[in-house]
Every structure is written in C-alpha cells, then in structure tokens.
C-alpha cells in the first residue's frame, strides 16, 4: 500500500530498520515509581480501512522484536487530501476493523497492548 499511495517502495523495511534501531538504543518502556514513563520505545500503529496498514506483518515483526514492546493501536484514521481518490482509503476505519485488529494483536501475545 505505501508504494501505491505514497510511492514509498520499501516503506515497511525502512520502518523496521528505524524501529529496530530505536529499540536497540532505549529498549522496552520503563516507568518510575509514580508510573510515569521515562525511557523506552512506544510503537503507535494506525489501523487503516481494509487492512491497508498491514497489521499482521507489523505485529509479527513486533513479536520478534520483543513481546514486551509497548504497542498503541489507534483508530483515528480520517481520509484527508488525496486519500478520497482511493476507494480503500476514502473512508474512516470501522469499529469492526479496529476490533479485529486488536484481536489480531492479542494473538501475537504482545504483552503491552494499548488502545
């Protein structure tokens, strides 16, 4: 999808490289005694209509990186700009699509899942 919509030929590969490096530098999210995060990686995953975000591949990658990586799954996608020109991106994500994505993430046993 990134290639089609943004002409980003290897978007997912570049994202994985960047996230892997960030994880190497700071590791899993750490909290102080007040439960305030002070260091670590938070991955935010935006659910797109018709699984255009490749959620399964993202969760597979994150599971391999660390089951304790903090993952925030978001459903705030709103079509803006030229997104309306594309049938699959021209609408908001449905609650069913979001719910299915959360269930999928749970199947990958990601321990720090937030939505």
Read off the pLDDT of residues 10-48 as tens digits, 9 standing for 90 and up. 999 999 999 999 999 999 999 999 999 999 999 999 999
How many beta carbons lie within 10 A of that of residue 44, not counting itself?
11
pTM score, two decimals?
0.88
| pLDDT greater than 90 at residue 56 | yes
pLDDT of residue 62: 98
């Amino acid at each position: 999808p990134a290639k089609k919509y943004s002409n980003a030929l290897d978007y997912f590969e570049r994202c994985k490289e960047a996230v892997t490096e960030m994880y190497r530098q700071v590791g899993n999210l750490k909290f102080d005694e007040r439960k305030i995060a002070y260091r670590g990686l938070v991955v935010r995953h935006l659910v797109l209509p018709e699984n255009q975000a490749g959620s399964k591949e993202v969760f597979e990658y994150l599971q391999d990186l660390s089951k304790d990586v903090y993952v925030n799954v978001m459903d705030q996608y709103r079509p803006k700009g030229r997104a309306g020109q594309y049938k699959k991106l021209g609408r908001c994500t449905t609650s069913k699509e979001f719910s299915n994505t959360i269930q999928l993430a749970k199947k990958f046993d990601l321990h720090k899942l937030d939505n």
